[in-house]
Each structure stands twice: as structure tokens, then as C-alpha cells.
Structure 1
Amino acid sequence: MISLLATMLGGCATSTPKAPPQPVQAPPLNLDLFGPPAHIPDEAEIFELSEFQIQKLNAFLARFDDETERHWQLARFIHEHLSDFDYQGRTLTASQALQDQQGNCMSLAVITSAYTRHLGLEYDFQLMRTPPVFEREGDLVLVSDHVRTRVYPSSSESGDDPELRAGRRAIIDYFPERKRVPSSPVSNQDFLAMFYRNLAAERILDGKTNEAFWLAQRAKSISPDNASVLNLLAILHRRAGDETTAEALFRYGLEHHPDDINLLHNLYAMIESQDRHIEARALLERLADLPDHNPYPRILLARQLTEEGFLSRARNIYESILDQMPYLHEAHWGMAVIHAQKGDDESARKSLATALQYTRANRYERLYNAKLHALKSAH
């Protein structure tokens, strides 16, 4: 109050231009919490190909005389040589993903760009506007987005006409048969930040918090105001016991992304756990005005209704979730429980089998296999 009053009184005597508002400074990270820096693959390592992998591509391309069609030939090569690719994998470097024949959509984009770099072709990345994919691992909910790669013909074939080049580009996509609406281009730097962010999230799931932090820190150094990176760093600080830095990171992220669901959810959960109910209620009101497709609060409600015997209401919730997210194994599991309680063992067995098809966590696989075996034995 004294400072404000003095400024107001001084303003009566002189007229000075207002200083522009100072940008909010990013809070410092608590490096001491996370041990010595872990090994982090650099850009060259991410896109590096082995000699064998390069020879395999060159042998395939030697079948074609027309080098102006290299982008289509590359697309054909990827289609043929990744036919057994397991898309349930993780974020891997190009060489790792090819060697293991597995990886997520980002791994496929890394493979594509690695080959494209080798051929000297132009490419870019595109973030797709798709329904978010949710998956729960312990006390974490993972929200996945989708990126694809576009490879362009050489300028000698299409000249400098951007429309002609865009019309002849090859699109390498994780699920090409799905209808997807393009969202926004992704720069190479932003793609790198997304790669390190993915690795960091996977290390958290593996219980390697220190390694996760240094990967997230690398992502932040590339894309300082990235909402998901800031959210991840805040989560890591909170899990390490530093809720002060965690809150500062959440709030800094919301300065740049005021409507980010994940930042708001996580800040709300932390403040509510500290019994700061008035502040938490204000955040909850902000969340209520935003669309949120997170299915897990509804799953918890359906489980509670099932336990209390309100099977029809629980079933309606599970069915509404599966209409939106048919991949969610917990909802299929919930349906199996309801079928079993109603004495419909055949439907329960089918729901369990579907849950088993979609699950990737070993503990759920063991659980569903055991339940499925028990139902088959009873039948």
C-alpha cells in the first residue's frame, strides 16, 4: 500500500510514459532434487541409421530409374518394410525402432525423417486434430496426441510451385485409413521437444524420475513455454517433494496457456490436497467452462455405482465412454463386471477378451487373463 500510494502521489507532479509490462519470468528449476544429468540422445543420434539400414533402403531404390519419384518410392519402401511393425511400442530413435520393429507414431515420424534426410528430400511434420487418447498408469493419466510426416518431391521435378509440390507430397501416417483433420505444422525444434517430452513421460512410468527430469529439462531448453513440457516438469517437482516450484511452474504455464486442461487439472489437484479450498474452487469453476474428455472421473463413478448395485446407470456410463473411446480397456472391464453380476457369463467373457486386447500394462493383462480363465472354467 505504501509503494502504491507513493507512486500515485508522484504521478501528480510529473508525466512519464508508462513502462511496458514486464514478461513473466520462468521459475528456476530445482536441479538439486534430481541427481547428476543422465545421458540424453542428441539430434544426430535420434535420426541416425545403421549402415545395414541404409544399404537396405539403397537396394530397394536401385530398382527404380526415376529419381524424381524418390518421395513416392520412400513411401512404398516404408509401407513394405514396416508391414510387421508393432505400433504398441514406445518413443525410439530411428535405428532402435527399425531394429526392434516397434514404436509409436513419433517413432514412425523419426524413421521417415531419418530416411528423408539421407535422401536429401524436404519434409515437415504435422500435428493432427484427433480425439485425445487417454491411458492410466497408476496415479498418472497419459494424454496422447498424433503427428505425421509429409515428404515432398525434389524441386527438379516440381519446380518452385508450392501448390504443385504440396499436391504431390507423400504423407506417411500411423493410421492412414482414419479420417484426420490437420491441426498445425510442427517445426523441427518443436518435434524434438515433443520427442524428449515423450521419453520423459515414459521414464516416469518406469520409475526413473531423475532421468525423466533431465529429458524434460532438455525439452524445455528447446521449447521454453511448451504447455505439456511445463506440466511434466511441475509433476516431477511435485513427486520429488517440491510443491513450491511445482506450483510456480503450473502458474507460469497458465500465464501462457490459460485454458490448458492438464495444467488446470494438476494445479487444482495439488491445491485441493493442501486444503486450499477457496483457490481450488476457483480453478474448478474455470475447468467447468472448458471441454474435458478425460474419462477417468466417469469410470470411477461407474465403478462406485456398480458396487452400490446401480448396474443400469453404471452400464450407461461405460457405454457412453466406449462410444467415444472404444480402446479404453478399463471400460470394457467394467462392462464385464456388470455382465458377470447379471449372470451373463458369455457377454462377460467377450468384454474381458476385448479388455485384454486393448491393454498394454502387464498387471492388467495378468488380471484379465486370470478372470477370463475363471469365466471359461465356470462356463
Structure 2
Amino acid sequence: MNKVRLISGLLSAMLLSGCASQKPIYAEIEPEFVGVQAPEFSYPAFNDGLVSQSVYIESAEEITRLSDDVKRDFYRYYNKKELANYSDVHRVSSYIGLLMDQFTYSQKTYTAQETIDNLGGNCLSLTILTTAIAKLAGVEVSYDLLNNNPTYALDEDMLVTSDHMRAVLNSGWMDANDTLFKVRGRITIDYFDTEGMMFAQNISPVYQLSLYYSNRAVELMLKKRYDEAFRFAEKATAIYPDNDSALISLAILHRRLGDSEVSESIYQYGLAKGLNQSPVFYRNYAGMLETDGRVDEIANLEEMYAQVKENHPLEWIRAGKRAHREGQYELAIKHFNKALKITPELTGLHLLSARANLALGRLDETDARLYQALSDAQTQGESAVYQRKLAKFRKFKKKSS
């Protein structure tokens, strides 16, 4: 089998792993833009008659359940007298840091308790454990997805690409020095230094839960346990219908289990909706058409994919960031503006444009972009980030004038 055929027909799923170092990092890293939802399209109907109905799937409660021993250990630490002046967020992060000193990174997806029992797990496992411990103290948790675009060959006929996920502990609102704004503290919990990774989107708790099931589906599929893989992927889509990894897994599973018609409908849906992993939908679909001898249809597929890329904001965001790195700031602004026309709700694009304008010395335009980001912020977390940045910039602008 030659390389072109191999790549065109492979699975590429969001197995949340793929980090290079084993040093835990606790840093305050802010998002660059937030994800959006595409318009609605007809959703594929899965053929669940292909697999067994009797597959055990953990509930959401089981995924974050901790043993009584772990709870007691946490509360003993949490209530130490020497920590009395520390915030809930810092006590939680400090406790997780102590646990992580004993952990070894692995590519396995575990529940919270399994992560402790195995003294390790992948990035998603750490977010699940963080969520479980944060719940004990009533601390709010949010999630960031980062894209570092690695690819791993995991068996003879399948590749899995990996994105990186981290949990963020959110503290209360506080007054920022010398400003009229309030800001919110953030402490990220991560295995690794994520410097250089591209922020992809904020992850909702619902999506984070869905990713547990889609990750497990990929792991089970690699072991050729297709009934279980199907059910876990199906569960992932029941929680979050546009989980890319789960849809790709279901497309491949339908094909392997004899229902190419549904498999094709899933690929078509992923492309038509322009999901984040649209290149993977395209490659798998093209490989399927080639295998079936439907070569004439590949040209139409390529045209469809070209339209998806043209109308996908991530393509313009990547082009804008590349132009910025190369010092082509005007071009970067043009690319970010194209992305904004497609998805004006991507408030972080104003931040990216502000950076390019600042590099060109356009202080008024930089101020306008930051203010627009703040005005369009859709969550308190976003608002806090943009408030802090605008306040900091205006202090700089005042000194520069």
C-alpha cells in the first residue's frame, strides 16, 4: 500500500494526548479566541443495529467519582491551618500539584479515580481529575483546547491526531489596580508547557464530557473492540452532536461493519457543516471513494472541500497568524477581517487584529479593537480577559502620548 493511499483513508481523531515533556506546569495562560457553532444541517442517522446493545458505559457521575479515601485526604490538606489564608482556588491547585508530582504521563483516558489509581493518564484524564477535586471545594472549572497538530501511527491501518486540553481553575472577581474594571483570576492545570501551541477554543463542560466518551471510542477501536467503540462514540454524540472525533469514529465503524451508506452520510455532514476536523472528513471520504472506484466523484469532493476551507474561519486565522509571525501585519489584519466576516462572534479575532495594529503603531485602532472585543464578550471569563488587556493597553497608551 503506497503512502498516498494510506494517508487518504485513515482515521484522524481528537485523542487528547500528544505532549512532549513530562514536567507539570501551572501558569496563567489566556485564550486567544473562542469557538463558534456552525449553522444547522441534517444530522446523520446511525445504524445501531450493527452492534450489540449490551455494552457498559460509565455515567457522568462515575467519571468524576472519587473514593472516600481520596476525599478524606483532600479535605485534610484543604483544612490545614497553614493554608487558612489561601483561596479555595490556590488550595485546590496546590493539592493537584502534589498529586501530579507522582504522575507519569500516558496516552490512556481514565476516570478521575483511575487517574489517581494509575498515577497518570493523558491530558483529558487530568482535566477530569481536576474537575472532580474542584467540585469538592466548590471551585469553578473551565477548559481550553489547544492545537499542536501532531500525528501518531497507532496500528497498521489507522492514524490518530492529537490535540491538547487543559483545565482552568477560575477564582472570584477582584478589582484591578488603577482601573475601573474587575478581573478574574485563572490558574491553569497542565502536564506541560504549552508555549507555541495554538489556542483552538474554549470547551464547555458538556463537550469535555463528550470527549471522554469519544476518546474511549478511539482507544477501543484501535483494539478492534468495535461494539464497544461504536457505543462509546454514539454516547459522545448524544451528549455533544458535533463531536468531530466521535463522528469520524462512527463513519469508519459503519464502513468496517458493512454500512457504507451511513458512513458516507457522516462524512458529507462533517464537510457540509465545516467542522473543525473537516480535513479529516475529507481525507477519509476521498479514501472511501477511491477504494470503491468512484474516482469521478473525487473531483466534486475536492471542489466541496475547497469551499469549506474558504468559508472556515480557522483557515483565515491560521493565515493571519502566519502573516503576523512573518512581519506582514497588514496582510494579517486582512486575514483576520475575513474570518470576522464569516464569524463575527469570534471576539478574540479583535484581539489578534489589535496585536497586528499595535505592531504597526496604530494606537487608536488597537484601542478600538480591544474595546470591541470587550463589548462583544459572551462570557464573564472572556470579559475579564479583555478588560484586563484594555486597561493595560490604555495605561501604555497614556504613557506613550
- The answer, yes or no, to whether TM exceeds 0.5 is yes
Letter in 2 for 1:171: T
Choose which of 141, 166, 169 in structure 2 pairs with 1:151. Answer: 169
Alignment of 1:202 with 2:223, yes or no, is: no
Rounded Cα–Cα distance in structure 2 between residues aligned with 1:229 and 1:67: 44
Correspondence for 2:254:
237
Correspondence for 2:286:
268
Correspondence for 1:124:
142
Rounded Cα–Cα distance in structure 2 between residues aligned with 1:96 and 1:45: 11
Q: Which has the higher contact order (CA 8 A, sep 6+)?
A: 2
Conserved? CA contact 1:216–1:229, under 8 Å: yes
Deviation at 1:225, TM superposition (A): 2.6
Unaligned runs of 5+ in 1: 1-21, 292-379
Deviation at 1:217, TM superposition (A): 0.5
Alignment of 1:248 with 2:277, yes or no, is: no
Deviation at 1:288, TM superposition (A): 8.3
Q: Which moved more, 1:277-286 or 1:78-87?
A: 277-286
Rounded Cα–Cα distance in structure 1 between residues aligned with 2:183 and 2:200: 20
Q: CA RMSD in A?
A: 2.7
Q: Percent identity?
A: 28
Rounded Cα–Cα distance in structure 2 between residues aligned with 1:90 and 1:232: 17
TM-score (norm 1): 0.65
Rounded Cα–Cα distance in structure 1 between residues aligned with 2:88 and 2:257: 49
Choose which of 199, 202, 218 in structure 1 pairs with 2:235. Answer: 218
Deviations 1:210-268 (A, max 9, x none): 00001111111111133322211101101111111111111112111277111000000
Map residues 96-135 of structure 1 onto 2, 5 A cutoff.
96-135=114-153
Unaligned runs of 5+ in 2: 1-38, 311-401
Pair 260,220 (structure 1): closer, same or farther in 2 beyond 3 Å: same
Deviations 1:137-159 (A, max 9, x none): 2211001111101102246x779
Divergent runs of 4+, >4 A = 161-165, 284-291
Alignment of 1:61 with 2:75, yes or no, is: no
Secondary structure in structure 1 of the residue aligned to 2:120: coil
Conserved? CA contact 1:151–1:171, under 8 Å: yes
Deviation at 1:80, TM superposition (A): 1.8
Correspondence for 1:350:
none
Secondary structure in structure 2 of the residue aligned to 1:57: helix
Deviations 1:174-225 (A, max 9, x none): 2136443433110011111111100000010122100000111111111113
Rounded Cα–Cα distance in structure 2 between residues aligned with 1:75 and 1:265: 41
Pair 137,288 (structure 1): closer, same or farther in 2 beyond 3 Å: farther
Secondary structure in structure 1 of the residue aligned to 2:73: helix
Correspondence for 1:70:
88
Deviations 1:7-36 (A, max 9, x none): xxxxxxxxxxxxxxx964222211111111
Rounded Cα–Cα distance in structure 1 between residues aligned with 2:58 and 2:180: 34
Secondary structure in structure 1 of the residue aligned to 2:218: helix
Map residues 272-291 of structure 1 onto 2, 5 A cutoff.
272-284=290-302
TM-score (norm 2): 0.61
Correspondence for 1:87:
105
Deviation at 1:124, TM superposition (A): 0.4
